[in-house]
Amino acid sequence: MFVLLPTHQLDTIRAWDGMLGILVRLPIVGAWFARLIGWAVWRWLAFCGGSRFAWPNIWAHRQGKAPIVREFLGRFSAGEIADELCATIGHPTQLAVLRTRLRGVRGQPGAAQAIAGIILEEAARCQ
């Protein structure tokens, strides 16, 4: 599992709602606002430490553990990701350690079955 967050073209993102969406769609100055917002997002990411965007890493951080999942932030190429992927897949022992660490931070198994059971109970009640 890798998390990819390319931030080298944040100024091209113009799908925001509300006031930010209005600002970035303005003629002439919209691109400037988009660059400003992108710069602010990049500063915020740098301030946050940059390694807690994947849920397993957030859970590990809450438990005082090191990040588990590899996160790529900023500017990176497909080749870099492919190299890292090949290196990771090529080491079955590292994959086993990763699997164990992931199981160590997750909650109790069976959430999907529990949710399905609740939905079925509610559906039966409605009939």
The angle, 0 to 180 degrees and rounded to 10, between the axes of the packed helices 92-105 and 78-89 is 90
CB atoms within 10 A of CB 34: 22
Domain holding 30, by residue range, is 2-126
Amino acid at 38: G
Question: What is the domain count for the chain?
Answer: 1
- pTM to 2 decimals? 0.60
Residue-wise pLDDT for 67-90, tens only, equals: 888 888 778 899 999 999 998 889
Residue-wise pLDDT for 27-73, tens only, equals: 888 888 888 877 787 777 667 665 577 888 888 888 888 888 888 87
pLDDT band at 11 (very low <50, low <70, confident <90, very high): low
Give 2-25 as a DSSP string: EEEEE-TTGGG-----HHHHHHHT
